[in-house]
Amino acid sequence: MGKILITGGLGQVGMVLSKALKEKYGDNNVVVSDIHEKGASGVFELLDITDVERLREIVQKHKITTIFHLAAILSAKGEADPLWTWDLNMQGLFNVLELGKKKLVQKIFFPSSIAVFGKQSKLINAPQSSITDPVTVYGISKVSGEYWCQYYHNRYGVDVRSIRYPGLIGHQSLPGGGTTDYAVDIFHYAVKNEDYECFLKADSCLPMMYMPDAMRATIEVMEADVEAIKIRTSYNLNGFSFTPEELYQEIKKHKPDFKITYKPDSRQTIADSWPKTIDDTEAMIHWGWQSNFNIQEMVMDMLSNLKVKYINEPIKL
């Protein structure tokens, strides 16, 4: 993959992806960037992704060949300021795609989301090609972004690849303003022996994925032969689906005294518009995708990792 730049690299995904990429390609071949520097380590550059000159300067300085473009505002946070979210999510993507068009970088990764689907989509086993009528500005930016990626590929030959992540669950960092955040937050409360108030209804089923699977998918789609990538919008990706109550019951097997209450807020409307399950047949056939983790394995791994983490360095929620 040559020399890699990650935008938005200090977020929930970036913290894990940068480690995985450094392990695979070497510390000096991965440049992490973000709009702030809290938690930065290794080769790091401050970058506001809307600043096209600064982006180009970093790409030229480090002779970047591949960009993992993660910087974005997520679904719940995006609703607080829709126009700002649209500007940031779209301008950031255009700045990166233009570098591909000018052949200043060779490969681009764009993470899309289950947020592209909406109430008129098929919400059970949402197929690769479905009506996409997102209810959030985040979802609108992702579905538009997917079509722009396809456009830059078809018109300018830009090798941009994308997957629609489900809600991602990881122990490495806290999530940044999404609708699926409860599925990470709940573990922190359980490990601290505190009760958890869930912002979604008990029976609100959503597609999720454990971070190691998501990172493997990201690297696999980027490493796949160019002929294998037949979809240039974004690939559906399936891990496992569960409701908050099902997740709670699974955690309770390990933490019998753990208690949950439900107080749905505006994020419930977003969750109701998203698929409950995902069909990722095309990713399996085209580039051999197969998820490894199920909910039981994910819960055990999350709890054991967080237990160690809280002993070593307590996290403030």
Q: Please report the beta strands in 158-215, taking only residues with DSSP state E, as ranges in sequence order.
A: 159-165, 167-169, 196-198, 206-210
Binding to ligand AKB (CB under 6 A) within 58-97 occurs at: 74-75
Which helix (DSSP H) or strand (DSSP E) does residue 251 occupy? helix 244-252
Task: Give bridge partners of residue 34 from the DSSP assignment.
Answer: 46
Q: How far is the CB of 256 from ligand NAD (least distance, A)?
A: 29
SS3 of 67, please?
strand
Q: How far apart are CA 182 and CA 264, in angstroms?
A: 11
Contacts (CB under 6 A) with ligand AKB, residues 102-161: 113-115, 138
Main-chain dihedrals φ then ψ at residue 110, nearest 5 degrees: -125, 115
CA angle 187–191–197, rounded 5-degree value: 55
Look up residue 44 and give its DSSP letter.
E
Ranges within 241-280 binding ligand AKB (CB under 6 A): none
Phi first, then psi, for residue 28 (nearest 5°) are -80, -5
Please report how close the Cβ of residue 311 comes to ligand AKB at its closest, in angstroms.
28
What type of residue sits at position 234? S
| Catalytic residue (one of 25, 138, 156, 248) | 138
Residue bearing tokens 């359980």: 190
Q: Which amino acid is at 177?
A: G
The residue within the footprint of ligand NAD, chosen from 178, 207, 239, 244 (CB under 6 A), is 178
| Catalytic-residue membership of 138 | yes
Position among 7, 95, 130, 180 found at the interface with ligand AKB (CB under 6 A):
180
Phi, psi of 275 (to 5 degrees): -60, 155
Query: How many degrees, rounded to 5, is the angle at CA 113 between CA 108 and CA 118?
Result: 140
Nearer residue to ligand NAD within complex by CB, 3 or 167:
167
Per CB under 6 A, the list member of 11, 14, 167, 170 interacting with ligand AKB is 167
Stretch that binds ligand NAD, among 41-49, 197-205, 228-236, 260-268 (CB under 6 A): 41-49
Beta bridge partners of 208: 167, 240
Q: How far apart are CA 272 and CA 60, in angstroms?
A: 44
Residues 5-34 that bind ligand AKB (CB under 6 A): none
Minimum CB distance to ligand AKB, residue 7 (Å): 16
In the complex with ligand NAD, the residue whose CB is nearer, 11 or 153, is 11
Measured from the CB atom, the residue of 111 and 118 that comes closer to ligand NAD is 111
Q: Which of 4, 5, 6, 12 binds ligand NAD (CB under 6 A)?
A: 12
Site membership for ligand NAD, residue 38 (CB under 6 A): no
Give me the phi and psi of 102, to 5 degrees please: -85, 5
Binds 245, which of ligand AKB, ligand NAD, none (CB < 5 to 8 A, cut-off by type)? Answer: none
Give catalytic residues, as residue numbers: 138
Contact footprint for ligand NAD (CB under 6 A): 7-8, 10-14, 34-36, 47-50, 70-72, 74, 88, 111, 113, 165, 167-168, 175-178, 180
Contact footprint for ligand AKB (CB under 6 A): 74-75, 113-115, 138, 167, 178-180
